[in-house]
Structures are given as structure tokens and as C-alpha cells.
Amino acid sequence: MADTGFPYTIEKFNSSGTGSTLASANALSGPIGLAFDNTDNLYVANNTNNTILKFTSAGVVSTFASSNITAPYFIAFQPNLTALAGDYNGNRVVDAADYVVWRANQGTSNVLANDPIGGAIGAAQYNQWRAHFGQTVGSGTGAVMNAGVPEPATFVLLMFAVAVAAFCEAGLHKKSQQLGYG
């Protein structure tokens, strides 16, 4: 809770309602908006002084922002969206489209997006893509836990199966006409 009366402090309350001072500084003047980052640093929208202050978990106070700020009120952080290894087209999901990008660059030393391996594009990047197939940014071990990775030969096998089915259908249709059924 931000105390907007002088002396300005930031108070913390436990589940039983007992409060303690979390942050206090001479630079505080009209603290309103509060936010924590992912490393437990506290940011305060210091409304009257037109600044955003940063309080580290070690108690160090610094001015985080002061340029072009007028009466800051709220603070929000965008989640840290880390790169996803194998997402070579940068659409935040490792899918078949990334395989296409890998295949187009295979054997070159082009730089692929989200490729921490680097170097010549080859088996290492393919294995990286396979290991992360089905994952999305922020999904950790993968949004699709048991996603099957399409092998390059899958399409050929599928076309073969369609051709066999069409051939069989044509043969059965011809035979049924010969027997007078169609």
C-alpha cells in the first residue's frame, strides 16, 4: 500500500493485517502506483515528483525513469517473453513452418532467428527444432506434450496411400460394372 500522506512510505501487510514499512525514501512524494518485477524489485509511480523510483530487494533506491513523465499513476510490466529455440520464423510457436525455414537455409551459414546454436545450418538446428516442436513461448516443456514431429517422408507416404486407395476404388468400380452392379 502506498501512503499518500507525509511522510510518504510504502507499507506491507501480512495476512493477519500487521503492517510494516517496505520502502521509505526522501525522494518519495505522492507514491501511487506500485509494481514488482520478476526479481522482486519494487517500482513506485512517484506522482508528485514526476518520477518512477526503483527499490531493490537489498534496499537500494534509485530513479528508474524521470524523462518525459508527468504525474505517473500506474505501472505495469510486460512478461519476459524469452526466445524459443527452434522458432526460426519468430511466430512464437515451433511448428512445421519453422521446418520450412530450416530446410531453405540448410547447408548455409545464414543466421536463423531463435537459434542459440549458430554456425552452419544443419543437423544440430534440425534436432533443436524436433526437440521443441509443438512448444509456444511461455509453455515451458511444451503446450503439446506428445506432439508428433512430422518427418520429411511423411508426405510421400501419405500421397502413396492416397494413390493406392484411388487405384483400388477404380478397380472395384470397374469390376462392379462388369458384374452388372453399377
- Banded model confidence at residue 104, pLDDT cuts 50, 70, 90: very high
Q: Say how far apart CA 149 and CA 65 lie, in whole Å.
A: 46
Claim: this prediction has a pTM higher than 0.85: no
pLDDT digits (tens, 9 = 90+) for 9-65: 777 777 888 877 777 767 777 788 888 877 778 888 888 888 888 888 787 888 888
In CATH terms, the fold of domain 82-150 is Type 1 dockerin domain (1.10.1330)
pLDDT digits (tens, 9 = 90+) for 109-122: 888 988 988 889 99
Q: What string of DSSP letters covers 93-141? A: B-SHHHHHHHHHHTTS-PPPTT-SS-SS-SHHHHHHHHHHTT-BTT-TT
**Residue 14 CA to chain centroid, in angstroms?**
33
pLDDT digits (tens, 9 = 90+) for 84-99: 899 999 888 999 999 9
The yes-or-no verdict on residue 144 having pLDDT over 80 is no
